[in-house]
Amino acid sequence: MFEGAVGRPAHKAIVGLHKVLGGSGMLAYLTYMAERLEHMNRLLKLSGSIYLHCDDAAVHYLKILMDAIFGADKFLNDIVWKRATSHNDSKRYGRITDHILFYAKSSDKNLRFWDGDSIANRKSDEELRKAYPLVDESGRHYRSENVTGAGITERGESGRTWRGYEVSEKGRHWAPPKKSSYAQYIETNFIENYQQIEGVHDRLNALDKAGLIHHPQEGKWPGLVRYAGADKGNLPQNLILEPVGFTNFNANRGEYLGYPTQKPVDLLDKLVLASCPVNGVVLDPFCGCGTTIVSAGKLGRKWIGIDISSFAIDLIKKKRLQDFNIPTKGIPYDFASARRLKEENPFNFESWAINRLSGFVPNAKQVSDGGVDGRATLAYIPDDFDSRLGLAQVKGGSGNLLGGLRDFLHVSDRDRAAVSCFITMNEFSSREAIKEAAEHGKIHINGHPYQRMHLWSIEHFFEKRFPNLPLMNDPYTGKPIQPTLFEAWN
C-alpha cells in the first residue's frame, strides 16, 4: 500500500519501519494507523491539534509516523498518563503508564488554540493565604517578589540607583517585568501603555505609581507585588497523575462500563478544555465506548464519534446517550443491511447480533472461543438449577445448522448454562431442531418456567419477536434490567 506510493506523507516512515520490523503484527498496526492519521491531518483545522493515546510498546513507532505525517515541528508533547496505581510484573518493572502524543496542525503557536489556564491545578484558599501572606489596604492578599536579577551590570539604568536603593551593593541589577510578563502581577491595577515603556527606571516608576512595588520597613529591599487573585495555579505539565485509571470509578461514580480501552471522563476533560474552544468540534475516530463525546458534549463542544465496532456504537447509545435521539450510520436497520454486515464483517455482525439480546455482551476474544460468542448473568438464581450463566452463539452461515445446534447444546451442558440462545440469520424452523432444543429442559424462577435453549434469529429481531428470557443483570452495572431487547434503532 505504501511501498510505491512515494507521494504519501507516511511513505518513508512505513518503508523504513518495514526494514526494522519486517512483516510483523506491529507493522500491520502501524500501516493501519498511518492510513487513518493521514486523513486526520487532512481534516484538522489550522487552529486544531490532535492527541493520540497509546502504550509504551508502540509510542516510539507512532511518533515516527506522526512526525512524517504532521511534521516533526508540529510535535508538542509526549504526555505520560498514570493509568494504574500498580501492576505486578514478575520479570520487569510494573507498567502503570500510557502515552498521549500531542501534535498541532500549525507550528505557529499564535494560530493554535490553547487554553492551559482552564486546566491549571488551582491552589486552595489556605494554600493561597500561605503563599501570599501580605495584605494591602483593600484586603487583597499579595506577596513581594524579587524585582532584581543576579549579577552587576553597568549598562543602562539596570545597574543604577533607584529611589535611593543601591542595587549594585547587593550584587544584582534591576529587572522589572517586561512587555510579555507584566500582566501576571496585576489583578485590578492597570498601567496604561506599559508595554510601550522601554526604560528600566520608567517601568519601575510606572509599577510603583500603580501600587505594585512593595516598600518594606527600613533596611529591607523593595519587591514586586504579586496578588493572589492573579495566581492561575500550576499550569498543566506533561505528566498526568490524576485521574488514575478506574481506581475509584465503580465505588464513587459508576462510570466504568467494562470496555477494554475505556478512559476516565476527567482525563478527556483536560484535553478538550485545553485544545478546543467552546462551540468547536471534537472528532474521535476511534470513539470506543464514547468517553470523548461525553466529555465534549458536557463541555459545550460539538462532536463526531466514529468506531468500526457496532458493539461500541450500541454501547454508546445505550449507556452514554440513552436520553438523546442521536443519528448513527453504519448500524443495521433492516434485514438486508444486517445481511450485508454479516458478509462484509462477520466478527462485527456477531457482536451486533449478541447485543440484540438484553443483558448479553459479546466475547472480547472472537476466535478460539470454545463455542461461546456471548455471555450474560441471570438476575436471580433459578429454583431448580445451580447456575445463573447465560450463553449465546451466532451462526450466520447456511451450513449444517442442526449440527451447530447440537454442538452448542453440548457446550451449554459443559458450562452449566441456565439459559442459552442459538442465533441464526433466518428463522431456524427445523422440527428436529425445535424438538432437540425443547428436550434440553427448563428452569424455573419464582415458579415461572423458561426454556434452557432458545432458537432465535435476526429475522425475528426485525419482526420484533423476542425470546422469553428470564430477568438479566446489566453487564456493566450488575443490577437487574428488564428483559427487553435494546431498541437503539428507534
Instruction: Tell me the pLDDT of the chain (490 aa) as tens digits.
Output: 777 788 899 999 999 999 999 988 899 999 999 999 999 999 999 999 999 999 999 999 999 999 999 999 999 999 999 998 888 888 999 999 999 999 999 999 899 999 998 999 888 889 999 999 999 888 989 999 889 989 988 778 898 999 888 888 888 999 988 765 555 566 556 677 787 888 899 989 989 988 889 988 766 789 999 888 888 888 899 999 888 876 544 444 568 777 778 899 999 999 999 999 998 999 999 998 899 999 999 999 999 999 877 777 777 877 787 777 777 777 788 899 889 888 888 888 898 899 889 889 888 665 556 789 999 999 999 999 999 999 999 987 655 789 999 999 999 999 999 999 999 999 888 899 999 999 999 999 999 999 999 999 999 999 999 999 999 988 766 788 754 433 333 3
- DSSP string across 303-370: EEE--S-HHHHHHIIIIISTTS-----SS--SHHHHHHHHHH-HHHHHHHHHTTSTT-EE-S--SS-T
Q: Among 228, 221, 220, 193, which Cα is nearest to 209's?
A: 193
CA distance linking residue 487 with residue 180, whole number of Å: 57
Cβ neighbours for 174, distance < 8 A, ≥ 6 positions apart:
147, 148, 149, 157, 158, 159, 160, 162, 167, 200, 201, 204
Provide the β-strand partners of residue 391: 375, 420
Nearest to 393 by CA among 426, 360, 418: 360
Contact assessment for residue 214 and residue 225, using Cβ atoms and an 8 Å cutoff: yes
pLDDT of residue 242: 85
In 3D space, the residue among 312, 311, 304, 299 whose CA is nearest the CA of residue 271 turns out to be 299
What confidence score (pLDDT) does residue 421 get? 96
- Asked if residues 338 and 332 have their Cβ atoms less than 8 Å apart, the reply is yes
